Amino acid sequence: MDGSCGGEAGITYVKAGPIARVTIDRPHVLNALNQAAQAALAAVWDDGRDDPDIRVAILTGTGDRAFCTGTDLKDPADEAVRGPAYLVAGPPLGAGGLSLRRDLLKPVIAAVNGLALGTGFELALACDLIVAAEHAEFGFPEPRVGYMALDGGITMLVRQVAFKRAMGLLLTGRRITAREGYEAGFVNEVVPREALMAAAERWAAEILACAPLAVEATKQLARETLDLPLWAAPRYFPRSVMQAVVSEDAREGVQAFRERRPPRWQRR
């Protein structure tokens, strides 16, 4: 799977070696997502999960106005899943097929190139790292139109920033800047708009310098131990951890350190 996926869904997916570049390409609606785009993104994450050559993904939006401004409320094809129907017919894996997903252990970097609102903010929070352009803004405007951030936005935000700060956003629908997001702790880096993709690729390169199995096991541990008490978390060892510690890459990492050379990862 490569190139444009989902026909007119407006999602592009390009593989460049170990990096998957995913772009929401719907600038006519500020990259808002309809059902077709949601399904196309879910298919992208499925493919990246199953492709052994892909190790990290970078998600961004077309243009410099918007990363994703939420759900496309003007799309008549989505009328059937608005209101109460959304509770049972909304995206099964959450915003962009990612926010409620638990089977993607490869890191995803959000390169936020503009507005990240509603579903777009959920999609960014679901990524493992967020690099934001200086002019980017984040927010959950749902309460202002009678809705809520139901695809994990509420729970993700209160776990990623201080509770009172999260509630200040959730209860008012206000927006905050990229710099405020950095100060709040959910943005990793803020850069000028022209340096956004270079910054995201720099983060990707640092991930690629690490052992693939160790990275995936680390992501799984970090996410799955969020709800465990401190005494239990250090003794939680999913299968990915066991695979990583007995892998050839684990032996190679130690050997490369001793020989003062870059490791040659084999993902086994």
Q: Does residue 6 register a pLDDT over 50?
A: no
Domain containing 161 equals 3-208
> What one-character-per-residue DSSP string does the chain give?
--EEESGGG-EEEEEETTEEEEEE--GGGTT-B-HHHHHHHHHHHHHHHH-TT--EEEEEESSSSEEE-SB-TT-GGGGGGSGGGHHHHS-TT-GGGTTT--S--S-EEEEE-SEEETHHHHHHHHSSEEEEETT-EEE--GGGGT---TTTHHHHHHHHS-HHHHHHHHTT--EEEHHHHHHHTS-SEEE-GGGHHHHHHHHHHHHHTS-HHHHHHHHHHHHHTTTS-TTTGGG---HHHHHHHTSHHHHHHHHHHHHTS-------
Residue 102 sits in the same domain as residue 221: no
Catalytic site includes residue 259: no
Q: Is residue 265 part of a domain?
A: no
Q: Is residue 267 part of a domain?
A: no
Q: Is residue 266 part of a domain?
A: no
Catalytic (active site) residue 79? no
Same domain, 101 and 7: yes
Considering the candidates 137, 142, 201, 216, report the single residue annotated as catalytic: 142
Do residues 38 and 112 both lie within one domain? yes
* pLDDT tens per residue across span 29-84: 999 999 899 999 999 999 999 999 999 999 999 999 999 999 887 766 665 555 54
Q: What is the mean pLDDT of residues 153-174?
A: 95
Statement to judge: residues 237 and 131 lie in one domain:
no
Q: Is the same domain home to 118 and 232?
A: no
Q: Name the catalytic one among 122, 137, 201, 216.
A: 122
Whether 7 has a pLDDT exceeding 50, the answer reads: no
Q: Over 70: is that where the pLDDT of 89 sits?
A: no
Q: Total structural domains in the chain?
A: 2
pLDDT at 81: 52
pLDDT for 90-100, tens place per residue? 678 899 999 99
Q: Pick from 189, 208, 227: which residue ends a domain? A: 208
Tell me, what CATH number does 60's domain have? Answer: 3.90.226.10
Query: 178-199: per-residue pLDDT in tens?
Result: 999 999 999 999 999 999 999 9
Question: What band does 137 get if pLDDT is binned at 50, 70 and 90?
Answer: very high
Does position 5 have pLDDT exceeding 60, yes or no?
A: no
Q: Model pTM?
A: 0.90
**Is the pLDDT assigned to residue 3 strictly greater than 60?**
no
